[in-house]
Amino acid sequence: MLSTAPDEKERFELDPERVRLLERIYRESGTELRKLLRYLADNPDRPIGTRIIAKQLELPRGTGSLAGMLGAFGRRSTNRYEGYSPIEAIYNPVKDATELSMPKPEAEVIRRIAKRRKVAKRPKRTD
């Protein structure tokens, strides 16, 4: 009997084209959206309510700021990234709330990108 389930390596690795797209998304994103991407990447495969996210990111207008940011990103995603987004939005009827999450493969790539950019921006020592 043949198994159609991907092996462990295939499940958690993205193709190079998708990695380049994630790099572009991160590079072209503003500060607040980068914070959101990093926050979701630090909590992969974990749906988190938008109220919690807005509070953790200290957004000035709470969920309103988050909604505006996601709306703008959704339009950009449609126009620039062929509709692709590493952010998944799920409505939870039990909590009557929208939750956001990021799949583990995308999260691993976003964490690597953020770490590289952080290292690249460190000021040089002058001693």
For residue 82, what is the DSSP state?
Answer: T
**Higher-pLDDT residue of 83, 119:** 83
- Asked if residue 11 belongs to a domain, the reply is no
CB atoms within 10 A of CB 77: 17
pLDDT given at position 41:
98
Residues 67 and 89: their CA atoms lie apart, in Å, by: 11
Range of the domain at 66: 16-118
- Asked if residue 7 belongs to a domain, the reply is no
Q: Is residue 14 very low, low, confident or very high in pLDDT (cuts 50, 70, 90)? A: confident
pTM of the model: 0.82
pLDDT given at position 118:
75
Q: Is the pLDDT assigned to residue 102 strictly greater than 90? A: yes
The beta strands (E) that lie in the chain are given as 48-49, 88-92, 97-101
| Amino acid identity, position 112 | R
- Tokens 């709330």 correspond to 97
The pLDDT tens digits for 38-95 are 999 999 999 999 999 999 999 999 999 999 999 999 999 999 999 999 999 999 999 9
For residue 25, the domain's CATH number is 1.10.10.10
Number of domains in the chain: 1
